[in-house]
């Protein structure tokens, strides 16, 4: 399952990159509603986003649906890191704590029984 989980996580990273591009695009002014969507940045971001959805379908071959969205929460971590690099968004102490808590949640959901067994 690990291989499929990694494919899904790669897809989440790709989707996060497209979210950053979309945020950049949303900050711009456009002459019309159509131009808001039909411009290279937004269209490119969505093409990449659809590519990420393929990774998701591949991942779901073995990853249970009940775990998929939890793994996809890694997107918050990527968005924070990429936002810091490309949008200059700050990561304060509280946000950093939150990112670690998200990782903890993913670890509990993914490896919970193994961790309990290891402790025992």
Partner 1 sequence: MKKDTLKWFIILHVIILIFSVNSICSKKAAMYDFLSPKWIMFYAIVIFVLGFYAIAWQQVLKHLPLITTYANKAVTTIWGLIWGYLIFHEEVTVYKVVGALVVILGVYLVVSGDEEVNGKSSKNNQEVNENA
Residue ranges binding partner 1 (CB under 8 A): 22-23, 26, 36-37, 42, 46, 49-50, 53, 56-61, 64-70, 72-73, 76, 79-80, 89-110, 112-113
If 0-12 CB within 10 Å is exposed, 13-18 middle and 19+ buried, where does residue 29 land?
Answer: exposed
Q: DSSP E strands: which ranges in the chain?
A: none
Kindly report the number of other CB atoms within 10 A of residue 94's CB atom: 8
Q: Measured between alpha carbons, how far is 38 from 58 in angstroms, rounded to an integer?
A: 29
Q: Least distance to partner 1 from the beta carbon of 82, Å?
A: 13
Q: Least distance to partner 1 from the beta carbon of 69, Å?
A: 4
- Residue 57 or 85: the one with the smaller Cβ distance to partner 1 is 57
Q: Least distance to partner 1 from the beta carbon of 23, Å?
A: 7
Q: Least distance to partner 1 from the beta carbon of 36, Å?
A: 7
Q: Measured between alpha carbons, how far is 31 from 50 in angstroms, rounded to an integer?
A: 26
- Residue 3 or 112: the one with the smaller Cβ distance to partner 1 is 112
Kindly report the number of other CB atoms within 10 A of residue 80's CB atom: 19
């Amino acid at each position: 399952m690990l291989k499929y989980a990694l494919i899904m996580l790669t897809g989440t990273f790709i989707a996060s990159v497209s979210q950053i591009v979309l945020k950049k695009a949303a900050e711009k002014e456009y002459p019309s509603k159509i131009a808001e969507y039909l411009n290279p940045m937004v269209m490119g971001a969505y093409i990449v986003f659809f590519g990420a959805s393929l990774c998701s379908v591949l991942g779901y071959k073995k990853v249970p649906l009940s775990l998929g969205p939890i793994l996809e929460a890694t997107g918050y971590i990527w968005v924070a890191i990429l936002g810091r690099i490309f949008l200059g968004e700050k990561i304060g102490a509280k946000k950093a704590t939150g990112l670690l808590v998200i990782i903890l949640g993913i670890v509990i959901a993914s490896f919970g029984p193994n961790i309990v067994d290891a402790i025992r």
